Amino acid sequence: MYPRPLSKRERDWVEWILPSDRKGYDTYRHMIREMTIIGEGRRGNGEIILGRPGCEVDFSAPLAPVLAYGAVETNLGTISITIREAMDDQISAEIVSHRSDEVPPEFEEYRRWTYSIWSPGDACPQCMRGVREISMPAGKETHEHVVLALCANDRRLWVYEESTQVNRLIPTTNFYNELMLHKNIRDPKRALDSKLLFTGLDSFSDGDLTYAFLTYNKLKTKVHIDSGVETESRESKGFLKTLKKMISGGSS
């Protein structure tokens, strides 16, 4: 069964969530064109591993972060497509049905959406409602920004990197943990319930959310941010001073 090339349907879906007009995604499109499916991933049915012909799936590598995510809504349920970042010249692509074990061969498509096409100022791709946005400069010389986006309705958050035009999903639990540490909230009913990030989103300032993202990004890097840049949130000079020390590696 393996190795084998991507089927036409698989390639159409993969290239749809890797739009060619965005630098970061187009790079992956070119990489995948030189690859073949070398086997299934550790997540089982639906996860295929793309690699160079002749290579074997590396099960020892950790699960790579999500690069692109989208969904096709049909009369037979939702089909999701997930592309993970390349690791050791291998790329995971997961195409699964949310209703059955197999993706149906035929169906009626209602609509499709992906975070890959989102830009600051747009509505959430999934629910088409407004999102909370916090902009942060990513470099002192390039004047480029990253934008943290939070959708309270879908309980999703992601970060947009201006230099690559890529949107990377952020795990809610890990981000919320950093937010609770920053706010010094220790009550388990609040500190362990990440849903409160979205139900109480208005209670957190831009500075709170920026600080949580930057501390999370230092642990699990999603985007590159130069040392010493300042947040654009409307916070006090004392907070900005602390934030600059934290980003540059000093104590906060």
Considering the domain architecture, whether residues 128 and 61 belong to the same structural domain is answered as: no
Considering the domain architecture, whether residues 216 and 159 belong to the same structural domain is answered as: yes
Per-residue model confidence as pLDDT tens digits over 189-207? 999 999 999 999 999 999 9
Would 63 be classed as within a structural domain? yes
Domain of 203?
118-247
Q: Which residue has the tokens 């040392």?
A: 227
What span, in angstroms and rounded, lies between the C-alpha atoms of 24 and 28? 7
Q: Confidence class of residue 59 from pLDDT cuts 50, 70 and 90?
A: confident
Considering the domain architecture, whether residues 80 and 110 belong to the same structural domain is answered as: yes
Domain count, the chain: 2
Would 162 be classed as within a structural domain? yes
Out of 32-36, 126-130, 219-223, 242-246, pick the least confident. Answer: 242-246
pLDDT of residue 141: 63
Q: What percent of the chain has pLDDT over 90?
A: 73
Considering the domain architecture, whether residues 128 and 234 belong to the same structural domain is answered as: yes
Amino acid symbol at 116:
S
pLDDT of residue 60: 86
Considering the domain architecture, whether residues 101 and 62 belong to the same structural domain is answered as: yes
Considering the domain architecture, whether residues 27 and 129 belong to the same structural domain is answered as: no
User: With the CA atoms of 16, 20, 21 and 25 taken in that order, what torsion angle do they form, in degrees rounded to the nearest 10?
Assistant: 90
